[in-house]
Structures are given as C-alpha cells and as structure tokens.
Amino acid sequence: MLGKGGFRTAYKAVLNDGNVVAVKRLKDAQIGGKTQFEQHMAVLGRLSHPNIVSLRAYYFAREEKLLVYDYMPNGSLFWVLHGNRGPGRTPLDWTTRLKIAAGAARGLACIHDSCRPLKLTHGNIKSTNILLDNTGNARVSDFGLSVFVPPPPSTSSAPRSCGYRAPETLDGRKSTQKSDVYAFGVLLLELLTGKCPSVVDNGGSGGGFGGLVDLPRWVQSVVREEWTVEVFDLELMRYKDIEEEMVGLLQIAMACTAASPDQRPRMSQVVKMIDEIRGLSGSPSHEAGFESMSESSALSEDTCGASQ
C-alpha cells in the first residue's frame, strides 16, 4: 500500500513483465454508471504531459473500480518537504523547490487548457498529489477524480485537504479552475514556508486558525506588518542570493490565493511568472539535488494530447 485517501487506496503493483505501476482502488465513489465512468476515463486518459502522471488503464465492475497509473519512484512533495525534519535531514534546496513549483504549474495548466469546452479541473491539489519521477520532475496526480467524491457527512470533521480549499468551496460548492489556482497558491506557500496547511497546529507562531495552519491568512498578516524573511522556511536561510526569487514566488502565491476568484491569475499566467523567476539567476543548483528539468514546449491542446 502506498497511501490511503478518503475514498481511494493506492497500491504499488509489479506486473509479470517486470513493469511497476500504481493502482488506485475507488471505494464508496459516487459514480453515475459505467457509461459516464468510461467517458470520463477517456478524457483523463488522453491527457499526456511530462508533468502529469499518466492514466494507463482502468477496470470497472459493480463492486470494483481500479485506475492504473505510471509509478513514481521518488514519492511525493509532501514527503521530501516535510518528512524526517530534524538532525541529519537533507533539506530540500531552493532550486529544487522552484523546479517542482514550475513543473507542477505546467501540469496543472495542461489539465486546465486541455479539452477547454469541458473546463477540466483537478479538484484536489495538495503536496501529497505532487509526485516526483526518477529524475525529480514534478508530476501532478489524482486529477479529475473529485467528480466521484461522495458528499461528506454533516457531522464529519474538516478533511486533511481543508487547508488548500478556496473560500468559495468551503460551503460544499464544486471545485473550479479558479479554486485549483487557490490550492496551487497554498502549495507555493507550503514550499516557501515549510509549513503544512493540512495538519493541526500546536499553537505558537505557526499560524494556526481553527485547528489548522491557514497559510494564506498567516502570510498576509506577516506581510502587512512588514516584508520580512520571517515568512520563509528556516531551511532556506543557508542559501545566498535567493531572496529576490523567494519574494517573487511569494507574490505569485499571494495572487493565487486572492479571496475573490476573479482576482486570481490563470494557470498559464502562473507558468509564465514562475519561468520568469527561474530565469533571474540562470545559475546551477545551489546544492546538489535532482537533475535539471528539461524545458517542455509551450502548452497547447495538441501538446497535452487531448484535442478532439
């Protein structure tokens, strides 16, 4: 087992020919019927991009729904960012964080820009759904499955992903591309601050509100007082000459987490803004990390393999 979510469990599976895949088992999913399921899988299966985890196959039966994806050997952004913090840990360096941000932005932009009449959304952007392939490239996973999420019981507590949810979706409204942008902004703040927005805060200066770390609200409160490095992850303080890049990414994150959906940029704009920041230094990694990500071509419906 690789992980367990609200209505799905992920497994690592080794096939007879030696290929390794990730299999997601949908449980208690709200699926209208086989035809609707197959049509949706056909759309998701056409999405192909270097920063997306490809859907390879699916299985549908009355009591069993399985989705088969490429297996990502380097785990999730959540683990490399938050796992094993403390003595002996190798911090996630700034260049790698910026590369992951750029790759995840490209993947999400592809989802948004493909099959434009359908206005595809991800619906569940968070650090556990940004996976890393064997060269360290960010791959967006779990996209398009929010349509199958059953409504939460009225007595249920806040879900783990609550910290990424846009204000307009907290009353049960469906996710949109603009709410995806908000969640991506929270993800950028997570990369910048080293704080996880989906865990209970123990008080102190962690920015806890209502039991969760509300990163946008905490960052805004600090910025209002003065533009300060107190926002940034202490693990980033060892690197020199990156403050301009960090502040630039922080500005993008704050634009993405604007309270009003209309004030948030499109993901294609976010990609361009992050690329501009990456071009500021033009220098090799500040610390040995994953190999440099090759720049992909400009996004288009043909690039994403989802044109009709």
**All structural domains of the chain with their residue ranges:** 74-150+159-281
From the list 142, 155, 112, 115, the residue with the least C-alpha distance to 5 is 142
Tens-place pLDDT, residues 171-228: 777 889 999 999 999 999 999 999 988 654 444 444 444 455 688 988 888 887 766 6
Query: Do the beta carbons of residue 181 and residue 164 sit within 8 Å?
Result: no
Average pLDDT over residues 246-253: 94
For CA atoms 282, 284, 286, 292, the dihedral sign is positive
Angstrom distance (rounded) from CA 267 to CA 275: 12
- pTM comes to 0.83
For CA atoms 194, 9, 34, 107, the dihedral sign is positive
Instruction: Give the 3-state secondary structure of residue 140.
Output: strand
Tens-place pLDDT, residues 32-41: 788 888 988 9
pLDDT at 160: 46
Alpha-carbon distances, residue 210 vs 95, 160, 164, 215, 259 (angstroms): 33, 13, 14, 12, 18
From the list 243, 244, 245, 238, the residue with the least C-alpha distance to 287 is 238
Q: What are phi and psi of 117, to 5 degrees?
A: -60, -25
pLDDT bucket at 290, cuts 50 / 70 / 90? very low
What number of other Cβ atoms are within 10 A of residue 194's Cβ? Answer: 18
From the list 138, 161, 163, 109, the residue with the least C-alpha distance to 272 is 109
Beta strand ranges found along the chain (DSSP E): 3-4, 8-14, 20-26, 55-61, 64-70, 130-132, 138-140, 208-209, 212-213
Looking at domain 74-150+159-281, which CATH architecture does it have?
Answer: Orthogonal Bundle (1.10)
pLDDT bucket at 107, cuts 50 / 70 / 90? very high
Residues present in the chain in total: 308
pLDDT bucket at 70, cuts 50 / 70 / 90? very high
Top pLDDT among 298 and 30 is at 30
- Distance spanning both ends of the chain, measured CA to CA: 36
From the list 193, 182, 69, 82, the residue with the least C-alpha distance to 133 is 69
pLDDT bucket at 161, cuts 50 / 70 / 90? low
Which two tokens mark 166? 């846009």
Angstrom distance (rounded) from CA 194 to CA 196: 7
